A and B are shown apart, each in its own frame.
Chain A
Amino acid sequence: MRKFVSLLALAALSTAGLADAVRARSDAAQPRPGGSITWGVTTEPSCFDPHRSSQQAAFFVARNYIDSLVGKRADGSFAPWLATQWSIAPDGLTYTFTLREDVAFHDGETFDAAAVKANYDFVKKPENAATAASLLENFTGAEVVAPHVVRFTLSRPDSTFLESVSNVKLGLISPKALAKGDLCGGGPALAGTGPFVFERYVRGQSATFVRNKAYAWAPGYAAHHGPAYLDRFTFRFLPEYAVRTGALTSGQVDVIEGVQATDVSLFADQPDFTLLVGPSGASTSFTFNINYTRWPADDVRVRRALRDGFDPEPIVRQVYLGHVPRAWSIIGPANPAYNKALVGAWGNDIAGANRLLDEAGWTTRDAEGFRTKDGRRLRIDVGYPQPYVRDNREILIQGIQAALRKNIGLDLNLRIVTAGEYAKGNATGTWAIYPNTDNPSDPARELWDMLGSKGFLYTNVPHPDPEITGLIDEALQATDPTRKRALTDRIQALGVEKAFIVPLFAPSWFLAAKKRVRGLSFEAGLDSPSSAYDVWLEGA
């Protein structure tokens, strides 16, 4: 909204004939190399190796030293990066990439087709147990066609494959480094081709990166070419909100990530600071995933009552002070695959929700006012794993809990569980409601993750819904974009219609920085801040 207002203001200025003045000002502030910054971040990655990590916080760090074969633009299309061009066979089973010939890894190794093959083979090899292998489900092998031409073969068409190739998880690491052993600990041993070299990691404190002077292979969507502007930059791990905010206001760090809604006013429209709000839900929305095979949520009427028994809008506004929107679909509004038809199409029908529960036989009430049937209370657990609790999301759920109790007498039982308890519920398929956001950026892959028959949520649930899982399997193989789009739209609608999911809000990244830090932006493929490649310092 704020962005929109300032755009309007800008438009007004130019129509008033001030466009020249505006242009002159931006000319005065040309990017220039030099300087260093410190960036306060929320989460310390437990592993810096993109092939092995499963934390979003790690991927956004890794983008600074890891490049991919192709890059993903904000509109969902792909740009050349380490591959100058690529072709896909008509049967969708072979992908041929022509590679740049001037690229070198940080440890001096040459980047070529053999290096690409080494990386993909490493990830695919079962003994390595690399998390990135989940993206290579249909990949059967890589072949060196020429020193700088590599060909991948798939076992069946995969509409998400190019997206996976663009993902940092399948980014390229020096084959020599791969062979040396575990790279989770970061440091110079973790040699990629990225614009920054991983200089030093101090566990519990910071990670430092220095400019890769040889860098001349920026992705097609980058704002400039050649080496990065900054000489050096440091990520400081500051897990406490108040501490990050204080560290920035007192000038001890230059940029912070994870600005709390209550602190936004300290940075927005302030003379010394800039607030940057990222795209809302560029991958998925924060969503209740309801296990529709477990009592009492195996009854569609109960699920629909839960979906319609509260109004998410005021609760989201209260918790996030109007800085993020409520969600309508599991796919986020900033994602090109967002099904806009769902906006306003469901929810907040308390009378209808009560009717559904009456119909379903939940007609008696217990002493605390909750609905009961055959002496059992209408209770559904929300098992929220403690390591994932962040961003006041548990407060949001408490708000919904109170509303559902008051409106329809449903006991939404929020339980903050350990990672172990969550893993057990998942492994036995006995979880009830799992609240989460998911970050692979291909929409079919996201839907598969959360609702697919072999996605991580339903893989251990016996007899998942054949209709939705069938559509997802089809979408995964639909290499025709129009067909794929129709399928992902239908799956989103079906998920809400059958109330397998209840989308809650579309989270966004909030960055705050000193005014002189310029060139910060967000990356579509990662749904996170971009690397520091385009960042520069005014007056450096």
Chain B
Amino acid sequence: MWSRIASRLLTSLVVAWASVTAAFLALHALPGRIEDILAGDVDYPGLREAIAAEWGLDRSLFEQYAAFVSRIAGGDLGTSYVLRQPVTEIVGSQLWPTVQLALAAGVLAVALAVSVALLTAGRGRRARKLASILELVLASTPVFWIGILLLMLFSFTLRWFPVSGANGWTSLVLPSIALALPTAGLLAQVLREAIEKTLDQPFVTTIRARGVGEFAIRARHVLRHALLPAVTLGGWLIGGLLGGAVITEKVFGRPGLGSVTLGAVLTHDVPVVLAVVLLAAFIHVAASTILDILYLLIDPRLRAA
């Protein structure tokens, strides 16, 4: 038990170090010197040298890397080159709105997918076909487009919800629906297929023979079996939600990590990018741990192993 936890922690550290290193190298492999990008369309003698000196860009790449790693290890994420604010403050202030959005969208996507899959699996061909087409359309529609359509209808025309921002729950409704729909579409497809496969299993016939109602069979017995492949998708789902959050935040003018990350990558704002990468690595490790635990809860056979 303890050795498993220890090895898990060790792996997380390795993942964090490897992703920070990869991000650092990738940013420096991109064309353009950072001091040139920061100077932009401004130039006067000495400007670039002053910028380089200010951020230590005049040191060798290895020295810069070592400085970053040792600073991060000490818990100091540094100062953004572009926003000129402490990275901890920037990421800290943007983290909660993004988490809020991703959580709301995730819960909504799962609830939608489960109910649609439960209701349509193994039913009449028409209903299934219709649900399937709808899911395909949703899964392949860009979040951007869904967001604009939702805004036009519910915000600009009906005026039920505010356009954007992060002011209370009303401003969370439209962005989380926009973000949830494509994910729900995909999830429902996978889930229905799994439910249909399970419905053909002999144990279902046994339960039916006991006189258990159809809905109870599905919700209590079949769903548990069908959840495994869906949970495997969970890792992808978290990535998708965080990625989709970038676009959703832009459309709805919401604060969040998305726009900060995008801007940081485009301007080679190394300290901010490294902090976000670190955060993503942490989320990845945490999510895979939670998924492993979920597997155990869903499938008792795995517990014995």
A185 x B85 contact (CB < 8 A):
yes
Which of A90-98, A142-150, A454-462, A526-534 lines the interface with chain B? A454-462
Given known pairs A46-B82, A250-B155, the reply for A134 and B44 (CB within 8 Å) is: yes
Given known pairs A185-B84, A205-B165, the reply for A252 and B155 (CB within 8 Å) is: yes
Which of B33-41, B110-118, B130-138, B287-295 lines the interface with chain A? B33-41
Which of B13-21, B189-197, B205-213, B250-258 lines the interface with chain A? B250-258
Query: How distant is B302 from chain A, measured CB to nearest CB, in Å?
Result: 42
Asked if B94 is an interface residue, CB under 8 A from chain A, the answer is yes
A246 x B163 contact (CB < 8 A):
yes
A133 x B37 contact (CB < 8 A):
no
Asked if A466 is an interface residue, CB under 8 A from chain B, the answer is no
Asked if B151 is an interface residue, CB under 8 A from chain A, the answer is yes
- Identify which of residues 395-438 in chain A touch chain B, using a CB-to-CB cut-off of 8 Å: 418-424, 426-427, 436, 438
Which of A100-108, A236-244, A485-493 lines the interface with chain B? A236-244
Asked if A249 is an interface residue, CB under 8 A from chain B, the answer is yes
Cβ contacts under 8 Å, A249 to chain B: 156
In the docked arrangement, what's the CA distance between A386 and B30, Å? Answer: 15
Cβ contacts under 8 Å, B251 to chain A: 240, 243
A419 x B254 contact (CB < 8 A):
no
Asked if B159 is an interface residue, CB under 8 A from chain A, the answer is yes
Asked if B23 is an interface residue, CB under 8 A from chain A, the answer is no
Which of A123-131, A343-351, A366-374 lines the interface with chain B? A123-131
Asked if A47 is an interface residue, CB under 8 A from chain B, the answer is yes
A137 x B90 contact (CB < 8 A):
no
Asked if B259 is an interface residue, CB under 8 A from chain A, the answer is yes
Given known pairs A54-B41, A418-B31, the reply for A129 and B254 (CB within 8 Å) is: no
Q: How many residues of B contact A (CB 8 A)?
A: 55
Asked if A184 is an interface residue, CB under 8 A from chain B, the answer is yes
In the docked arrangement, what's the CA distance between A422 and B41, Å? Answer: 10
Query: How distant is A287 from chain B, measured CB to nearest CB, in Å?
Result: 13
Asked if B76 is an interface residue, CB under 8 A from chain A, the answer is no
Which listed residue (B84, B159, B259, B267) contacts A204, Cβ 8 A? B259
Cβ contacts under 8 Å, B94 to chain A: 203-204
In the docked arrangement, what's the CA distance between A238 and B255, Å? Answer: 11
Residue of A at shortest CB range from B82? A46
Query: How distant is B70 from chain A, measured CB to nearest CB, in Å?
Result: 23
Which of B50-58, B60-68, B221-229, B232-240 lines the interface with chain A? B50-58
Cβ contacts under 8 Å, A133 to chain B: 44, 47
Given known pairs A184-B85, A204-B259, A427-B36, the reply for A242 and B148 (CB within 8 Å) is: yes
B163 x A247 contact (CB < 8 A):
yes
Cβ contacts under 8 Å, B73 to chain A: none
B37 x A246 contact (CB < 8 A):
no
Cβ contacts under 8 Å, A127 to chain B: 50, 53-54
Asked if A182 is an interface residue, CB under 8 A from chain B, the answer is yes
Asked if A202 is an interface residue, CB under 8 A from chain B, the answer is yes
Cβ contacts under 8 Å, B30 to chain A: 418, 420
Residue of A at shortest CB range from B165? A205
Asked if B202 is an interface residue, CB under 8 A from chain A, the answer is no
Query: How distant is B154 from chain A, measured CB to nearest CB, in Å?
Result: 10
Which listed residue (A126, A419, A449) contacts B267, Cβ 8 A? A419
Given known pairs A246-B151, A246-B163, the reply for A426 and B36 (CB within 8 Å) is: yes
Residue of B at shortest CB range from A183? B84
Per-residue CB contact flags for chain B residues 84-128 toward chain A (1 = under 8 Å, else 0) read: 110001100110010000000000000000000000000000000
In the docked arrangement, what's the CA distance between A438 and B256, Å? Answer: 31
Asked if A206 is an interface residue, CB under 8 A from chain B, the answer is yes
Query: How distant is A384 from chain B, measured CB to nearest CB, in Å?
Result: 13
Given known pairs A240-B148, A246-B156, the reply for A205 and B255 (CB within 8 Å) is: yes
Give the interface centre of A246, A386, A455 by most chain B CB atoms within 10 Å.
A246
B43 x A243 contact (CB < 8 A):
no
Residue of A at shortest CB range from B268? A420
Which listed residue (B51, B159, B250) contacts A240, Cβ 8 A? B250
A421 x B31 contact (CB < 8 A):
yes
A423 x B163 contact (CB < 8 A):
no
B83 x A184 contact (CB < 8 A):
yes
B255 x A185 contact (CB < 8 A):
no
Cβ contacts under 8 Å, A454 to chain B: 43, 45
Cβ contacts under 8 Å, A206 to chain B: 165
A129 x B51 contact (CB < 8 A):
yes
Give the interface centre of A47, A182, A185, A205 by most chain B CB atoms within 10 Å.
A205
Asked if B280 is an interface residue, CB under 8 A from chain A, the answer is no
A424 x B31 contact (CB < 8 A):
yes
Given known pairs A204-B256, A386-B266, the reply for A422 and B32 (CB within 8 Å) is: yes
Asked if B231 is an interface residue, CB under 8 A from chain A, the answer is no
Asked if B152 is an interface residue, CB under 8 A from chain A, the answer is yes
Per-residue CB contact flags for chain A residues 347-388 toward chain B (1 = under 8 Å, else 0) read: 000000000000000000000000000000000000000110
Cβ contacts under 8 Å, A236 to chain B: 164-165, 253
Give the interface centre of B37, B50, B82, B267 by most chain A CB atoms within 10 Å.
B37
Residue of A at shortest CB range from B43? A456
Cβ contacts under 8 Å, A46 to chain B: 82-83, 263
Residue of A at shortest CB range from B40? A54
Given known pairs A54-B42, A129-B51, A427-B33, the reply for A203 and B253 (CB within 8 Å) is: no
Cβ contacts under 8 Å, A185 to chain B: 83-85, 89
Asked if A52 is an interface residue, CB under 8 A from chain B, the answer is yes
Query: How distant is A256 from chain B, measured CB to nearest CB, in Å?
Result: 11
Per-residue CB contact flags for chain A residues 224-256 toward chain B (1 = under 8 Å, else 0) read: 000000000000111110110011011111000
**Sample (26) of A-B pairs whose CB atoms are under 8 Å apart:** A46-B83, A47-B82, A49-B84, A54-B42, A127-B50, A128-B50, A133-B47, A134-B43, A134-B47, A185-B83, A202-B255, A203-B93, A204-B94, A204-B259, A205-B254, A237-B253, A242-B148, A243-B163, A252-B163, A387-B266, A419-B32, A419-B267, A420-B32, A424-B31, A455-B43, A456-B41
Nearest 4 Cβ contacts at the A-B interface: A420-B32, A204-B255, A423-B36, A246-B156
Given pairs A240-B253, A247-B164, A420-B31, 6 additional interface contacts (CB within 8 A): A133-B47, A185-B84, A239-B253, A243-B251, A418-B31, A456-B43
